[in-house]
Structure 1
Amino acid sequence: MKTVLIPTDFSKNSLHALQYAQELFKCERACFFVLHAYGEEVYGEYKTVDKENAQKLKEEIKTKTEKKLDELIDSVIGEPPNPLHNFETIASFDSLIDAVNDFVDEMNIDLVIMGTKGETSDHKTTFGSYTIEIFKYVKCPVLAVPEDFEYRQPKAILFPTDYLLPYKRRELKLLGDLAGKFKSKVHCLYITDFDELSPRQEDNKLFLEETLTRPYLYFETTPIKNKAEVILEQIKKKDAGMLVMMNSRHSFFEDMLYRSTVDLLGLKIKIPFLVMQNLKR
């Protein structure tokens, strides 16, 4: 059974993420944990609350949060409910990042699914600061779903990689399971000006081939230019229904984050974005 964590702030995009999660795992057993972290609502920016009033405020917000979570689940269960799906709610008195990290560890979560802002948002990027932080620091695959993305099976999946990272088997199994059940094509894209791979890269590429046995796997290269533009071009060319990247220290993904090219992706990407982790769990 898949364990899936969906953080929510009760916005339209977080509701959309929950609905997307139900469709993605429609035909398999899954437990959806819907989490709202309300720590900042008690001790948020510019709030000065004494100890006695803080405790009272904490209890009030907890009660309201639990009620809103129950109402949210009631609104998405459907008639008749999917017998393969279970729902549990978590009201956490913590920051969002800490709450997600702790729950991922406690329940050994397979996947975190988050909603992101739509293209019409006033923000510079659909990937808000919380999503970026969860991408970077949560030790679990994270799937960001654009608010205006209409669900469709990901028949083509784009996986940009430089083959430098030793992939985690559990992460690849998640990708393999998703791609396998939809009979997807996984396009491994290496953006490079070099013709040959190093022995380390060859080993990692072979590990991909040996692990991703369920989907149709393709290996492609393209010359170096602006990485975000290449990715966006390939998404359009292949009509990809999902983008997959690996996150690790000094990785291609982290390089994108710190060079702000993720802003271009965040503004223009219109498909779900799965970030797999290369961190010990």
Structure 2
Amino acid sequence: MKKILIPTDFSQNSKNAIRYSLDMFKETSCHFFLLYVNIEGSDLTEKPIYNFGTNIIVEKEPKAVSQKVQDLEKFVVSISSKKKHHQFTTIRENGFFLKTIREHIKEKEIDLIVMGTRGASELKEFFMGTRSGDVIAKVECDVLVIPDKVGFKGLGQVIFPVDFEINYSDDTLKRMVNLISSERAHIHLLYVTKSQIPIFEEVTVRQKQLQQQLSKIVHNPISFQRIISKNVAKGITDFAKNLSADLIVMISKEYGLLQRLFKDTTVEELSFDTKIPLLSLKN
């Protein structure tokens, strides 16, 4: 059974992340843990870290929080398939998000964290190592980021921007395939360069090795594309938009491509947040 942790602050975008998860895994045996963290009363010497998408609401009236939790449970019942292979647990705790997340990941052996996001500024912050970036950098778990108002419509086109400085493990690729689930999804290995220079022989070798490695793990169609773009993030988003992509997959090992990708990117140039869910995998 897949174990999925979904942080919530009872907002619409956090509810959308729940809805997306239920639709994405409607045929999968899952235990969904809905987590609300109240930072009120936490150790003041520890800086609160989580501030991404589902921003933490400090609620001083326990009754109000209890009502919101009850409303959330009713919401889940209203949108769930009510199938036996889906289980739900609502968790309400006081403390700091990062610490609480780590505890639940270890205790419950969480496979995936699903979070909602509202805007490009939050997404850039997510990759640049501030606050919410710690979720990816310091929490050993895969993370699926769901843009606000985006619903699950299946996974037909999946973009996998590749960094040939990373050796992708079979385990990482298998987790990606398991999350994609559909063998009809087309996986596009995307290599972005900033100039028209010829691809080095080493890159060509790594490309073929990665394609061969993937072909042994998946039955999905796989293709390799190289695009030229002075701004790597814009190149990926333009490619994704033209392709009408359903998902972008990236590897978060020591930030790697992620940090370089957004290092010099302005908020206005980012468009991942508007339409395309993003899956960050630990390698």
TM-score (normalizing by structure 1): 0.80
1:229 corresponds in structure 2 to 234
* SS at structure 2 position matched to 1:42: coil
Which range moved further: 257-266 or 28-37? Answer: 257-266
- Kindly report which structure 2 residues correspond to 1:74-113, keeping only aligned pairs within 5 A, or say none: 74-78=74-78, 81-113=82-114
Change (3 A) 1:219 1:226: same
* SS at structure 1 position matched to 2:91: strand
- Kindly report which structure 2 residues correspond to 1:12-91, keeping only aligned pairs within 5 A, or say none: 12-38=12-38, 40-43=39-42, 65=65, 68-78=68-78, 81-91=82-92
Separation in 2 of the partners of 1:136 and 1:264? 23
Does the 8 Å CA contact 1:34/1:69 hold for their aligned counterparts? Answer: no
Change (3 A) 1:217 1:201: closer
Name the % identity: 27
1:189 corresponds in structure 2 to 190
- Kindly report which structure 2 residues correspond to 1:117-132, keeping only aligned pairs within 5 A, or say none: 117=118, 124-126=121-123, 131-132=132-133
Q: Report the alpha carbon displacement of residue 155 of structure 1 after superposing the two structures with TM.
A: 0.6
1:256 corresponds in structure 2 to 261
Gaps in structure 1 of 5+ consecutive residues: 46-57
Report the AA paired with residue 162 of structure 2: T
Separation in 2 of the partners of 1:80 and 1:154? 20
* SS at structure 1 position matched to 2:275: coil
Separation in 1 of the partners of 2:272 and 2:180? 26
Report the AA paired with residue 71 of structure 1: D
* SS at structure 1 position matched to 2:121: coil
TM-score (normalizing by structure 2): 0.79
Does the 8 Å CA contact 2:187/2:223 hold for their aligned counterparts? Answer: yes
The RMSD of aligned alpha carbons is 3.0
Q: Report the alpha carbon displacement of residue 133 of structure 1 after superposing the two structures with TM.
A: 2.8
Runs of 4+ aligned structure 1 residues displaced above 6 Å come to: 60-63
* SS at structure 2 position matched to 1:21: helix
Which range moved further: 125-134 or 145-154? Answer: 125-134
Q: Report the alpha carbon displacement of residue 127 of structure 1 after superposing the two structures with TM.
A: 5.7
Change (3 A) 1:205 1:94: farther
* SS at structure 1 position matched to 2:41: helix
Change (3 A) 1:164 1:5: same
Does the 8 Å CA contact 2:137/2:254 hold for their aligned counterparts? Answer: no
Change (3 A) 1:73 1:169: farther
Q: Report the alpha carbon displacement of residue 205 of structure 1 after superposing the two structures with TM.
A: 4.9
Change (3 A) 1:203 1:149: same
Q: 1:89-114 CA distances to partner (integer Å, 9 max, x unpaired)?
A: 22232211221122122222111100
Gaps in structure 2 of 5+ consecutive residues: 45-57
Separation in 1 of the partners of 2:14 and 2:26? 18
